[in-house]
């Protein structure tokens, strides 16, 4: 079904591009990207015999077009459907350009890795689509590569709920052997068993979408360097449990994982972080929205989790567990302004005792665990102040730890064993005295 749909869509797009729509454009003029054809060094795969009809094997034409001797490659693949069985070696600074991720489509029916780069830097792919049908195929693998980029690239596998588990070994992108600085910008990675598999740190995904992958991102276990930074990214899927199990899985020792402005929906567990073997040295989520069927965030092992401005929502009719935190392997962390979309607030008992928690609620900030106030030599003033509506100081904690009330009528209030309240005061000659406040808890 996917193949048929893709073929119809691509054929329709190609027809639209190849036929002029205005009176000044001849109907038989092929569409050519002005951004590419203006570059004199660009090599058009059609000039080397590529057909692009989805039937002919265009592998030989691709290899011929990519064969440059002593200058950086700029390869142009115009709109069309290209059946490719192998991908050529690309040198440093090579650029591969198409006319659009939905109109320039590379079809790969094999079971190996199509694009494999090793020890390359600043290779660029832009405005291309890759469609894989082999059950064990991998679209792109980068090994010891640096500063490569994928811009407006569509990577599509063949995994859907109806054929589960046939395509769960398909991989969209594999990053390994210290590959770094690679960016995925405005990309779509869809319908793979694993959308991205990484054992590397300092790679980036931004303004992109991962859809209907069995596992969206896998941080491979046993590698302390594994990590990723994701900004303005969507993880989405349908509600069939066969489609997506987890959007993000970090299954062992890892480095830093950062999520900023990321949306999750359509999985059983949105994020599963760490295992009994280890987890990230740092895990952070800021300004994210997470919906899941069973668990939104499962923190199994992490040294310093940090969650701020995260909203948890139900996925369909289910009410998932917002946070599940292992109190032994995630002993310390920070949670600020977490919001439940289906409860009044996150249950404070979720957080281990040593976590620093500032919750949102009508009663203001709530702290779970020990709150520390530390005086510094640079600022010898009060470490804590209570102010009235006009900002006048009512009480303070001094740098030495003493509690001070600046109002004579506002002394310490104590409760006796029988339920009565007493205010402790002092006279002008230093004599302590008490005054009864009754049994009702005072509000001032």
Domain residue ranges in the chain = 32-158+167-187+196-213, 230-372, 384-438
> Which range among 12-26, 148-162, 414-428 has the greatest average pLDDT?
148-162
Please, what is the average pLDDT of the chain?
87
Looking at per-residue pLDDT, the higher value among 35 and 237 belongs to: 237
Tell me if the bond preceding 165 is cis, omega within 30° of 0. Answer: yes
Residue 79 has pLDDT above 70, yes or no: yes
Q: What is the pLDDT of residues 306-361, one digit of tens each?
A: 999 999 999 988 789 999 999 999 999 999 999 998 887 888 889 998 899 987 54
Q: How many CB atoms within 10 Å of residue 342? A: 11
CB-based contacts of 30: which residues, under 8 Å, 6+ apart? 17, 18, 78
Tell me, rounded to whole angstroms, the distance of Cα 222 from its chain centroid: 21
Angle at 60 between CA 56 and CA 63, to 5 degrees: 135
* Whole-structure pTM value: 0.78
What is the Cβ-side half-sphere exposure of residue 85, based on CA atoms within 13 angstroms? 7
pLDDT at residue 341, rounded to an integer: 86
CATH among 2.40.50.110, 2.40.50.100, 3.40.190.10, 2.160.20.10 for 32-158+167-187+196-213:
2.160.20.10
Q: What pLDDT is recorded for position 6? A: 43
**pLDDT above 90 for 373:** no
DSSP letters along 165-181, please? TTTTT-EEEEEETT-BS
Distance CA 37, CA 32 (A): 7
DSSP 121: B
Q: Who has greater pLDDT, 407 or 142?
A: 142
Among candidate residues 169, 175, 113, the one with its CA nearest the CA of residue 136: 169
Q: Which of 290, 286, 371 minimizes the C-alpha distance to 336?
A: 286
- Per-residue pLDDT at 366: 59
């Amino acid at each position: 079904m996917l193949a048929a749909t893709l073929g119809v869509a691509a054929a329709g797009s190609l027809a639209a591009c190849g036929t002029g729509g205005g009176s000044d454009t001849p109907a038989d003029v092929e569409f050519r990207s002005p951004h590419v054809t203006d570059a004199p060094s660009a090599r058009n795969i059609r000039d080397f015999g590529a057909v692009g009809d989805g039937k002919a094997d265009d592998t030989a034409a691709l290899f011929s077009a990519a064969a440059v001797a002593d200058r950086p490659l700029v390869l142009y693949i115009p709109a069309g459907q290209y059946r490719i069985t192998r991908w050529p070696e690309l040198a440093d600074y090579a650029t591969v350009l198409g006319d659009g991720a939905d109109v320039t489509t590379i079809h790969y029916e094999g079971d190996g890795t199509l694009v494999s780069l090793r020890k390359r830097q600043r290779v660029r792919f832009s405005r291309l689509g890759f469609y894989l049908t082999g059950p064990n195929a991998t679209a792109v693998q980068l090994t010891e590569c640096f500063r490569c980029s994928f811009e407006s690239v569509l990577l599509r596998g063949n995994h859907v709920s109806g054929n589960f588990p046939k395509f769960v070994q398909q991989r969209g992108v594999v990053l390994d052997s210290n590959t770094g600085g690679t960016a995925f910008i405005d990309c779509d990675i869809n319908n793979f068993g694993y959308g991205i598999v990484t054992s590397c740190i300092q790679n980036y995904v931004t303004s992109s979408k991962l859809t209907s992958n069995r596992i969206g991102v896998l941080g491979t276990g046993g590698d302390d360097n594994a990590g990723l930074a994701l900004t303005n990214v969507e993880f989405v899927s349908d509600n069939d449990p066969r489609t997506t199990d987890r959007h993000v899985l970090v299954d062992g020792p890892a480095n830093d994982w950062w999520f900023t402005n990321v949306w999750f929906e359509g999985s059983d567990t949105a994020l599963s972080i760490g295992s009994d073997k280890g987890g990230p040295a740092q895990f952070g989520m800021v300004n994210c929205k997470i919906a899941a069927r069973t668990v939104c965030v499962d923190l199994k092992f992490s040294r310093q989790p940090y969650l701020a401005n995260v909203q948890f929502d139900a996925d369909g009719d289910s009410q998932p567990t917002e946070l599940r935190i292992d109190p032994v392997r995630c002993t310390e962390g920070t949670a600020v302004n977490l919001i439940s979309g289906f409860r009044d607030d996150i249950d404070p008992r979720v957080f281990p005792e040593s976590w620093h928690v500032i919750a949102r609620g009508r009663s203001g900030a709530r702290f779970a665990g020990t709150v520390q106030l530390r005086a510094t030599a640079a600022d010898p003033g009060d470490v804590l102040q209570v102010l009235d509506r006009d900002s006048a100081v009512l009480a303070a904690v001094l740098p030495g730890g003493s509690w001070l009330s600046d109002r004579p009528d506002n002394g310490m209030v104590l409760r006796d064993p029988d339920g009565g309240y007493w205010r402790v005061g002092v006279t002008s000659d230093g004599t302590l005295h008490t005054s009864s406040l009754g049994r009702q808890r005072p509000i001032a």
